[in-house]
Structure 1
Amino acid sequence: MGSASMISSRRAFLRSAASIAVVSGAGALLAQPVFASAGKDSAPPPHHDLVDTVPGKKSPNGWSINTAANSGGSVWTRPVPGTAFNVDVAIGEVEIVLVHVIRRFHYEIDTLRPGDVVGFRAASLRRGYELNHASGTAIDIRPGHYPPGVRNGFYPHEVAVIHDILAECEGVVSWGGNFSYPDEAHFAIGVPPTDERMRRVTSKIRGWNSAPGAGAGVIQDLKVSS
């Protein structure tokens, strides 16, 4: 079956599943991404005082390095709406963007399960771009399936989805599949906190999350070469 036919079949399946969910009441998980609002999920946890950062230390993308998650710094365990798992990421704008990436992958590439997404990692033993994990601004999606140094882990239609995600994020997100030494599991914030695109993109995603028929969970009409 051609990749274009695969996308068409997947789109038809998801639309059919969504219709069944509405009728039976069993599809709350599928319906959630269309109607969920990012506002509540993105609220800072209590006692957010940034005490557990490393003074003066930044990850390569310009964000503050933390020593741990859920310890008073900027990195907290946050829910990924529409899935059965959480992820440790920097709260606020970073959270909104990276959770959006995860959700689009979950709905449009393959279903993700607990343990499939790795967020925060301590700075020790991290080098180069991997140090972005220590600021909670990077995620690895199924790193065991897409190991560093290996290309073509995704089918062409899946790469088309990833490129569409990157395009709608307006350069705010970088993908390891575009690195000279590839790491196709790796997605990260590619700009510093001062970049105006962060506010613009997060505002756009918030709008999608609050509007039925928009945002993650809505199958994109992508053009894929066969």
Structure 2
Amino acid sequence: MISSRRVFLRSAAGLAIVSGTGAIFAQPSIANSGDPASPSKDSVSKAQRAFAEIVPGGTSPNGWLINTAANSGGSVWTRPVPGTGFEIDVAIGDVEVILVHIVRRFHYEIDTLRPGEVIGFKSPATVKRRELNHASGTAIDIRPGHYPPDVRNGFYPHELAVIRDILTQCEGAVKWGGDFSSPDEAHFEIGVPPTDKRVRKVAQKIRGWNITPGAGAGVLRDLKMPG
């Protein structure tokens, strides 16, 4: 029987970097023991390196900032997926909350996932146009070897019902590759730009579930009921 789990997702806070497109994302805090009005050379150099990890003016097809690497000062970091024993590389903040929720529901309600079976960030140098959403840390592939591109009906009806319920919970902020004209049933992505209010709304809803017993991922629910 699937048990409920209480999860507290850590959020990242700190320095804000503004891209050439005007988008803002949070950076890990940079300690500065000196005058707040006069940041140290070390903090300045870290901020410059952080900006260097964002492709200047570059956004993925869904409108999010493209990173050149994970864990290198940009907006993409390795984040835990509570209850699974593994981590994924995703954009920190609201995107992280949503994508981690998707992975956890798949893990609990469709099939147990193992390390290496969920792919998040991909280098922009290695992907094609649509896959650039991976380069912004806003897309994941769950078991891509089991659900290859251009193949439909990889899920049993009850598994498909879970996926549809996840999409309903995400209120249009997430797209599933199974709905693409050229299907990719392993693929989930943030389907709206950073300015879309649904991203914050859905993430806040999931955060509430994560601290509420009997709510959120890992809880058996009637899939006929609205999420």
Q: For 2:221 and 2:118, how far apart are their aligned partners in 1?
A: 23
1:63 match: 64
Per-residue CA distance 1:80-131 (angstroms, 9 max, x = gap):
0111100000000100000000000000000110001000000123123211
Which one of 11, 22, 27 corresponds to residue 42 of structure 1? 11
* Partner AA of 2:218 in structure 1: G
Partner of 1:176: 177
Give the secondary-structure state (helix, strand or coil) at the position aligned to 1:35: coil
Which residue in 2 is equivalent to 1:120? 121
Distance in 2 (alpha carbons) for counterparts of 1:96 and 1:36: 11
Secondary structure of the structure 2 residue equivalent to 1:124: coil
Counterpart amino acid of residue 68 in structure 2: T
C-alpha separation between the residues in 2 aligned to 1:217 and 1:206? 14
Given residue 120 of structure 1, which amino acid in structure 2 is its aligned partner?
F
* TM superposition shift of 1:204: 0.4
Q: 2:42: which partner in 1?
A: none
- Cα distance in 1 between the residues matched to 2:161 and 2:208: 23
* Structure 1: unaligned runs, 5 residues or longer: 1-12, 19-30
Write out aligned runs for 1:17-166 (5 A): 18=3, 34-38=5-9, 41-44=10-13, 45-47=28-30, 49=47, 50-51=50-51, 52-166=53-167
The runs of at least 4 consecutive aligned structure 1 residues that moved more than 6 Å come to none
Residue in structure 1 matched with residue 17 of structure 2 by the alignment: none
Q: Distance in 1 between matches of 2:164 and 2:130?
A: 20
Aligned partner letter, 2:201: R
1:193 alignment partner in structure 2: 194
Question: Is the partner of 2:131 in helix, strand or coil?
Answer: helix
Structure 1 residue 165: deviation in Å?
0.2
Give, in angstroms, the shift of residue 43 of structure 1. 2.6
User: How many residues of Structure 1 are paired with residues of Structure 2 in the alignment?
Assistant: 192
Over the matched positions of the two proteins, sequence identity in percent amounts to 69
C-alpha distance in structure 2 between counterparts of 1:128 and 1:66, whole Å: 14
Shift of 1:46: 4.3
Secondary structure in 2 aligned to 1:57? strand
Cα distance in 1 for residues equivalent to 2:192 and 2:88 = 20
**TM-score scaled to structure 2, two decimals?**
0.81
Give the aligned residue type for 2:80: P
AA in 2 matched with 1:182? P
Q: Distance in 2 between matches of 1:163 and 1:133?
A: 22
**Shift in Å at residue 205 of structure 1?**
0.5
DSSP-derived class of the 1:43 partner: coil
State the distance in 1 between where 2:65 and 2:148 align: 27
TM-aligned CA deviation for residue 144 of structure 1: 0.3
